Homo-oligomer: A and B are copies of this chain.
Amino acid sequence: MDPSAREKIEEIIRLRKKAHSFYSKNSKVYEAFSEMERRAYSDGALPKKSKELIAIGISLATNCESCMEWHIKQAIDCGAVTDEIIEAIGVGIEMSGGPGTVAARFAMNILEFYGNLS
């Protein structure tokens, strides 16, 4: 895959870890956010996989690249296959038009990064 695309994804992952550690120590708001996040994505009435697919759609429509990276990885770990993720991306495109197709390009890079494009 494109080296600069790979590098960008690796930077997102590195920065997320560093900042998570920083804000966990220094922000009580962030700490409560983390608890909210844990609850939002736990198995419940909906399985975690469904929730991660919802988050992929939202990330697409709001163009949050780091969110796409995180939730696509989580969805893959929950057993989501490439076609399912592409259809979640499709819902995101329907809900955001042209800018959604731009975000979908980064999502494609993430799928490639995690070996989910043949």
Contacts and interface: CB of A to CB of B under 8 A. Distances in A.
A51 to B, nearest CB: 5
Nearest to A53: B54
B67 A19 contact: no
Interface string A12-47: 001110110011001111111101110111001110
A30 B57 CA distance: 14
B32 A108 contact: no
A61 interface: yes
Contacts of A46: 53, 84, 87-88
Interface of A: 2, 4-5, 7, 11, 14-16, 18-19, 22-23, 26-33, 35-37, 39-41, 44-46, 50-51, 53-59, 61-67, 81, 83-84, 86-102, 104-105, 108-109, 117
Please give me the 3 A-B residue pairs with the lowest Cβ-Cβ distance, nearest first.
Answer: A29-B90, A97-B97, A32-B36
